[in-house]
Chain A
Amino acid sequence: MTDAAIREVVLGILESIAPDEDLTQLDDAINFRDQLELDSMDFLDIVMELRKRHRVQIPEDDYVNLASMNSTVAYLTPMMKDIEKV
């Protein structure tokens, strides 16, 4: 998967977690926590959805890498680059 495709995956997950949110304005450099008021429960959901949809396993110590869109994509790239886009 390309970086752009991984970004789409993450965006899709955010859409399902926060259905009432307008994500078209999302700033990739700013923390999700500050932009979307995501808390630790929501980060668990991002992790669980990645596991469910793409079999990507993220250890708890690595959750910090999911702070913003940029950091999430950077973290996921090595893990997801060989996964086919579905």
Chain B
Amino acid sequence: MYDTIIIGAGMSGLAAGIRLAMFDQRVCVLERHTTIGGLNSFYRLRGRDYDVGLHALTNITPKGTKKGPLAKLLRQLRMSWDDFAISSQLGSKIIFPGVQLRFDNDIALLRSEVKNEFPDQVDNFDRLISEIADFDDLGSDEQHISARVRVAEIISDPLLVEMLFCPLMFYGSAREQDMDWGQFSIMFRSIFLEGLGRPHAGVRLILKQLVRKYRELGGELKLRAGVKEIVVDGGHATGVILESGEQLEARRVLSSAGWNETMRLCDDGQPVTLRQSGRLSFCETIASLDLQPQELGHRATVTFFNDSNKFQWSVPEGPCDVRSGVICSPNNFAYDEALDLGTMRITALANFDYWHGLDQRQYQLEKLRWYERITASAVRFVPDYRSRVLDTDMFTPQTIVRFTGHDNGAVYGAPEKQLNGCTHLPNLFICGTDQGFVGIIGSILSGISMANQHCLRD
């Protein structure tokens, strides 16, 4: 009998596991896959190391900072800032037709760019910052109001509004065309007021540290252990049945599989309360180069681009939407030592239904075709690196489903979040993407706070 069973060895499940093992619970993390990491894992292909998702960690504050999500997370996991060895970004850009805004981990740069490009908006921009700095994430009634409405009340130039939404939506909006004001504030802080960074070794370092800590504390981790069913008896979860048929008992279950996905696992015969699933998914191209991007004159860490004045954050009608995208070079962080290999990654919105419906041969062909199109679109905004490519890879919404089991390959989960983590059963809780916090830092915090709130206090 376990105290807590955790479904999923992604960031949120592992973080929750650490908290519980720390206080001597019998805890077991069950992962369907052969490897940990979920949405943000790593792999080796043709002799080269790749990260699945990682562009950058958000919420990066300098060592010694006591406030903010990163500091909180390190304290809660009893880790030191040096365990993640994070290097700051060199500087990023938002590019729209005829105007570009640079930003780095000091908000002063973005402010001065706004002042240069949108002189009559700089006071409004200051006002936006102070409203966001004061916004209380959990205590406010304004949590769910439309960010588009709220921001338009403060910033009167529609182009600047679009340019601010573009990066925040790409890095964390489960909702099409709009965000909740609460989520907008959280993302604004984590990207513009705090900042971006990356460990030299990428996401594998973070995962390795999480698993090492979890194991040291006596936590159990089972891979290739997909949960087929959450056993419900008398209105309580009593354990799980694995795909192998093995049955495990637990006093409570914490699931990072997603809201709908978790509801479907419950065998209590109740019609499950499904929600609208998220629909926003990505294709991502990865190119390994025979030189460092800086040798081509490319110094930006992340480049968010949009080729018209209006940014569309919605499911594309075609396979991918190449009008906008995110270009990231993992090389362009302030490391002590350069990465061995030059890399360029591009993220574009993609249509799950299209990619899901292809047969194997078509899928391979379409991957090649859209790799070309996405790259051709991106090199309008960064130096053309196509003649320096050694190897490429690409993933689609279909890949995301395979690795995470999330419906529709929805990167940021369902638009409606379950902030308190509660379900219809008193001892079944959810954490991770569908609880509310997204991204790597966000999902780690989600695991921590759901473990604290629901699994430690008895």
Contacts and interface: CB of A to CB of B under 8 A. Distances in A.
- Most chain B CB within 10 A, of A18, A41, A42, A60, is at A41
A33 B78 CA distance: 18
Nearest to A37: B66
B72 A44 contact: no
B294 interface: no
A41 B72 contact: yes
Contacts of A48: 22-23, 456
B75 interface: yes
A16 B78 contact: yes
A20 B81 contact: yes
A45 interface: yes
B369 interface: no
Nearest to A35: B66
Contacts of B44: none
User: What secondary structure prevails in chain A residues at the interface with B?
Assistant: helix
A39 B22 CA distance: 19
A36 interface: yes
Interface string B414-458: 000000000000000000000000000000000011001000110
Contact residues on B (Cβ < 8 Å of other chain), bracket: 20 to 34
B75 A17 contact: yes
A37 B80 contact: no
A49 B23 CA distance: 8
Contact of A19 (B23, B63, B80, B452): B80
B452 A41 contact: yes
Contacts of B72: 39, 41
B446 to A, nearest CB: 13
Interface in A33-62: 36-37, 39, 41-42, 44-45, 48, 51-52, 60
Interface in A2-19: 16-19
Given A36-B66, A37-B67, A48-B23, A42 B457 contact: no
Contacts of A52: 23-24
Contact of A41 (B23, B63, B76): B76
Given A17-B75, A39-B72, A52-B23, A44 B80 contact: no
Contact of B75 (A42, A51, A60): A42
Contacts of A17: 75, 78
A74 to B, nearest CB: 24
Interface residues of A, number: 16
Given A36-B66, A37-B66, A42-B75, A20 B449 contact: no
A36 B72 CA distance: 12
Interface in A46-86: 48, 51-52, 60
Contacts of A45: 75-76
A70 B13 CA distance: 37
B64 interface: yes
A68 B252 CA distance: 34
A18 B75 CA distance: 6
Nearest to B81: A20
A20 B76 contact: no
A53 to B, nearest CB: 11
B455 to A, nearest CB: 11
B401 to A, nearest CB: 33
9 contacts: A16-B78, A17-B78, A18-B75, A20-B80, A37-B67, A41-B76, A42-B75, A42-B76, A45-B76
Given A20-B74, A48-B22, A60-B457, 19 more contacts: A17-B78, A19-B78, A20-B63, A20-B64, A36-B66, A37-B66, A37-B67, A39-B72, A41-B72, A41-B75, A41-B76, A41-B448, A41-B449, A44-B452, A44-B456, A45-B75, A45-B76, A51-B23, A52-B23
**Which 4 residue pairs are nearest across A and B when measured between Cβ atoms?**
A37-B66, A48-B23, A19-B80, A37-B67
